[in-house]
Amino acid sequence: MTNNNLTILAIETSCDETAAAVVHAGTQVLSNVVASQLDELRRYGGVVPEVASRQHILAMDAVIGEALAAVPDGWAGIDAIAATNGPGLSGALLTGLNTAKALAFARGLPLIGVNHIEAHIYANWLNQGSEAGSGEPMTPQFPLVALVVSGGHTLLVLLEGHGHYTLLGQTRDDAAGEAFDKSARLIGLGFPGGPAIERAAEGVQSDLILPRAWLRDSYDFSFSGLKTAVLHKAQERAGQAAKVAPRNADKSLRRQNPPAGRATAPDPAPPAAAPSLPRPLDAHFVAQTAHAFQESAVDVLVSKTVEAARQYGATEILLAGGVAANTRLRAELSRRAAVPVRFPPISLCTDNAAMVAAAAFYRFAAGVHSGWDLDVLPGLRLGE
């Protein structure tokens, strides 16, 4: 066994997904198991850290067992164990990291701590090979620009080699996924809001335009103004509806107050996020607003990414994180970029452990591995 053909078992528990995966040579996914807490989230109206940790503990054994079952030699085929140690919810991270430590110690295997944001980027190394002979490189080539857009993060990063990150920009307020989740909630769509907005916006033709925060001469992002614009539109619409049908308030109220978005953001209960509108918004308005929201968010994300790739001479662009599952974002970035755009399959965009194994592989190949004193780092930043 050389460093180039390592098989790594990885565990991911930074938020609300309990995940384990086995990946060979940093690219070949042998198994990828994800137990989602969506039912719990719906019940509690968002991520409750204590509940998430408990669910991880309950699911962990079965998830790891299933991931290992796909490896022909079982434990004998595993060369190292990786786990996300930040950023994320500390209690949730602890469950995965401690499990990984215990397994690595008991089996005499190396332990590799992984940064969750880096892992999202490395989802692009997984099974991305094009067919032999097509001329396209199998794995991403440096220098490249990566746009990481998830429920907790929005970053534009320059990568000049494995582990060589330069942060070009980040959000100054809400993460992109958080903006999707909160705006979806404002117009009465369910959680998670990203897929709900995408579905509602599908096939819509609309002249409605919502604001774009360009923050000129900066690669930073801001989505709170867009979210507030959605709130104002919703309040305005609800007001109009109240004037037309003042008597039906009771029934409609019961259908109001959809589940809250995830509560892991720095501002879990912003005034803009929880207005109680008097009645459900009509489907036409919801579709138009979802469409306008998505167009605004996608336009800003794509414009800045394309410009950064041009300025820094990137040979390609990587898209990563849960919001990278958005079809409109993928299509628009591919259309406007002057260089190839790469994105993971949808199942590898949202949280999973295969991406953790991929990131761990390149860390380990660079000689990095962790000690038993490795701790969780809820605020860990990329490149730290």
Q: Which residues bind ligand KG4 (CB under 6 A)?
A: 15, 150-152, 177, 180-181, 192-195, 198, 321-323, 325-326, 350-351
From candidates 35, 296, 351, 359, binder to Zn ion by CB under 5 A: 351
| Between 188 and 322, CB nearer to ligand KG4 | 322
- Dihedrals φ, ψ of 28, to 5°? -100, 110
User: Closest approach of Cβ 152 to ligand KG4, in Å?
Assistant: 4
Residue indicated by tokens 């990568």: 159
What order do you get walking across the sheet with 154-161 strand by strand?
Answer: 164-170, 154-161, 144-149, 316-320, 341-342
By CB under 5 A, the residues from 150 to 169 that bind Zn ion are 150
| Between 227 and 279, CB nearer to ligand KG4 | 227
Given phi > 0 = left and psi -120 to 50 = alpha, else beta, which region is 382? beta
| Between 332 and 351, CB nearer to ligand KG4 | 351
Is residue 115 involved in binding Zn ion (CB under 5 A)?
no
Q: Residue 192 binds what, of Zn ion, ligand KG4, none (CB under 5 to 8 Å, by partner type)?
A: ligand KG4
Q: Residue 194 binds what, of Zn ion, ligand KG4, none (CB under 5 to 8 Å, by partner type)?
A: ligand KG4
User: Closest approach of Cβ 156 to ligand KG4, in Å?
Assistant: 16
d(CA 29, CA 47): 28
| Between 332 and 351, CB nearer to Zn ion | 351
User: Closest approach of Cβ 103 to Zn ion, in Å?
Assistant: 22
Q: Residue 181 binds what, of Zn ion, ligand KG4, none (CB under 5 to 8 Å, by partner type)?
A: ligand KG4
| Between 123 and 308, CB nearer to ligand KG4 | 123
Tell me the site size for Zn ion, rule CB under 5 A. Answer: 2
- Within 8 A by CB and 6+ apart from 219, the residues are 156, 168, 169, 304, 307, 308
d(CA 94, CA 52): 11
Is residue 178 involved in binding Zn ion (CB under 5 A)?
no
User: Closest approach of Cβ 249 to ligand KG4, in Å?
Assistant: 30
User: Closest approach of Cβ 330 to ligand KG4, in Å?
Assistant: 9
Neighbouring C-beta atoms of residue 283, cutoff 10 Å:
10
User: Closest approach of Cβ 27 to ligand KG4, in Å?
Assistant: 20
| Between 99 and 350, CB nearer to ligand KG4 | 350
What track of x and - describes contact with Zn ion for positions 306 through 345 (by CB under 5 A)? ----------------------------------------
Is residue 124 involved in binding Zn ion (CB under 5 A)?
no
Cα separation values, 342 from 122, 124, 316, 319, 337, Å: 11, 7, 7, 6, 11
| Between 91 and 194, CB nearer to ligand KG4 | 194
Q: Residue 140 binds what, of ligand KG4, Zn ion, none (CB under 5 to 8 Å, by partner type)?
A: none
User: Which stretches of the chain bind Zn ion, using CB under 5 A?
Assistant: 150, 351
